[in-house]
Structure 1
């Protein structure tokens, strides 16, 4: 099997492994979820993978991922049973209704169920009208759950537009899913976007900017307190533009791979960069400008290992020096 044929890998997963994959995917979405759990085993109340938006867990917003690995498309009866089961237990106040309900079905859902999901009003009406077929005798073994007026009202108030499908195409093309697939099966991570340098100095830049200006001040024996002070300087005006470009190249790189790699990948890359420049930082230099230029030059030559090596271009590796300076992990000039 081609190690990068993600479609074949996903379609060959057993149901438990599909849930594990989806759980890892949800955990990668740190910009979205506060925490993720997988209540494995029986009695999951229709919740295979749960993404909580806050520490309030079920008392706040949450998403449900109902994972279905079938030989063929997800049958209508199975899908409606799972949806009805979750809404029934929400009706019993075991949890609130989810913000989003996802059917994760690599082979998709059958045409009938897909049509209903794409028409939320129809999905609601079919669940209510066919409750006796889909849910009444299937939610709890040996017990019937009739559609009481209270339960009907509760289900009617749910927003069925929140129900959607995640199929194989979605999984293959989603950046967060690709992160997990690359980690498990190999391949290359997507490329990070280029950094965009704002015209104005951002508050997040102030520390490294002050350190660069201090380097210039020492070199010229003239105090440069603000970037405006070097406008028109033969050397430093262009050099300062380069330094900011490096900083924002790394800023974009870090932001992208913080959200699109599994835990440890970005951290390991950054550790190798820092370890690579430490010996160069310890050398003696005639002044701090020479030190900064030398260290930046050597940083660009580093060849770190791992999945990010191919994407860590020269400017990104050099920009890390300014991020380390911004985090007070290094200084160009001795005080």
Structure 2
């Protein structure tokens, strides 16, 4: 039998059968995306560096008024992973230390003693002053025995001093003089500065920062209603409003000389008001972004709008009004789906961004000769 005959026989052998009736049980519907990954599970897979970045984000949401929060972890960090300064004198004045430990198991006393030793040595060496608090920050928490010690500062102090007195392995690289200085300091230190922070507490705080939605892929918080534009343009609006007045003056130079005359014009008055409402809508989105998403998110959206409309703005147009309308129409056609803010944006925001760009002298509607 030839190869063609074999193929023909195989085709004839194929039979179509009815699909089985679906089960009436309680099995979940199939999902193409899989179950959602919780923030806790995501954090378990972080690298040590990413965990430190998460801590710096979390620290911005604390009620303590920090002047600056710095990620200092790495070689030669002298026991500081994340430092939060309360004054502009940094490590030389009031500050908090957040020690990042991203281990596969809960933190043990044997893990903590060497870090505490680094802290006291840093003070002895006058690299920094003692922090107001020294917090161990680990996604898997602390072991039960270490948690008990943290709850009894005097017992933790005894444990630490015993490690020095018995010349524990962690002290082997310290000479006698340095070790005595460390012991003297530790003996007079209130060990209640040492604490741990539970991860569920961290999530509660981080959830209220503008990093949370971007980091964990959650929906953005609801956007407040946009307020009305002021009845009279404010100084902040001067540049883009003047450019709009130029558009109207090009059409009717005698009746459209300034914002006041345009505002009472039968046709252009309502048009100007709509543009101002769009501007304030975009301003409201900008202020919302400041509290809801990481820094620079809104500016990236602005930049992509500019890239999407600049060719239209620079093309030949018979009038400034034609250019304005073409650019505003183009802004509504841009694919901005990659931007997280689009989920809470409106068409007015896109047009308002164009006026923000005009206000920043990046777009102009009426081209001057020469």
TM-score normalised to structure 1 length: 0.70
What is residue 67 of structure 1 aligned with on the other side?
100
Q: 1:109 to 1:29 in 2, by over 3 A?
A: closer
Q: 1:332 to 1:253 in 2, by over 3 A?
A: same
What is residue 119 of structure 2 aligned with on the other side?
86
The answer to whether the 8 A contact 2:91-2:129 is kept is: yes
The answer to whether the 8 A contact 1:192-1:256 is kept is: no
| 1:95 partnered with 2:128 | yes
Counterpart among 331, 351, 358 of residue 325 in structure 1: 358
Considering only CA atoms, is the larger Rg found in Structure 1 or Structure 2? 2
Q: CA deviation at 1:242?
A: 3.0
What is residue 277 of structure 2 aligned with on the other side?
245
Superposed CA RMSD: 4.5
Q: CA deviation at 1:300?
A: 1.8
Secondary structure of 1:64's counterpart equals strand
Counterpart among 330, 344, 347 of residue 298 in structure 1: 330
Q: CA deviation at 1:331?
A: 0.7
Which deviations, in whole Å up to 9, do the C-alpha atoms of 1:130-156 show, x marking residues without a partner? 542577656633547456555555x44
Which deviations, in whole Å up to 9, do the C-alpha atoms of 1:88-137 show, x marking residues without a partner? 423431124457654322123457877887x8xx75x5554554257765
What is residue 214 of structure 1 aligned with on the other side?
246
| 1:270 partnered with 2:299 | no
Aligned pairs for 1:118-267 (under 5 A) are 123=153, 127-128=156-157, 130-133=159-162, 140-141=171-172, 143=174, 145=179, 152-153=187-188, 155-156=189-190, 160=193, 165=197, 167-168=199-200, 170-171=202-203, 173=207, 175-178=209-212, 181-182=215-216, 187=217, 190-191=220-221, 193-194=223-224, 195-196=226-227, 199=230, 201-221=233-253, 222-226=255-259, 228-255=260-287, 257=289
Aligned pairs for 1:299-318 (under 5 A) are 299-308=331-340, 309-318=342-351
TM-score normalised to structure 2 length: 0.64
Unaligned ranges ≥5, structure 1: none
User: 2:130 and 2:237 mapped to 1: Cα distance?
Assistant: 43
Q: Which has the higher contact order (CA 8 A, sep 6+)?
A: 1
What is residue 23 of structure 1 aligned with on the other side?
53
Aligned pairs for 1:280-295 (under 5 A) are 280-295=312-327
| 1:106 partnered with 2:139 | yes
Which deviations, in whole Å up to 9, do the C-alpha atoms of 1:198-243 show, x marking residues without a partner? 64755443322322233333333234444x5545444444444433
Unaligned ranges ≥5, structure 2: 1-33
Moved more, 79-88 or 108-117: 108-117
Equivalent residue pairs, number: 319
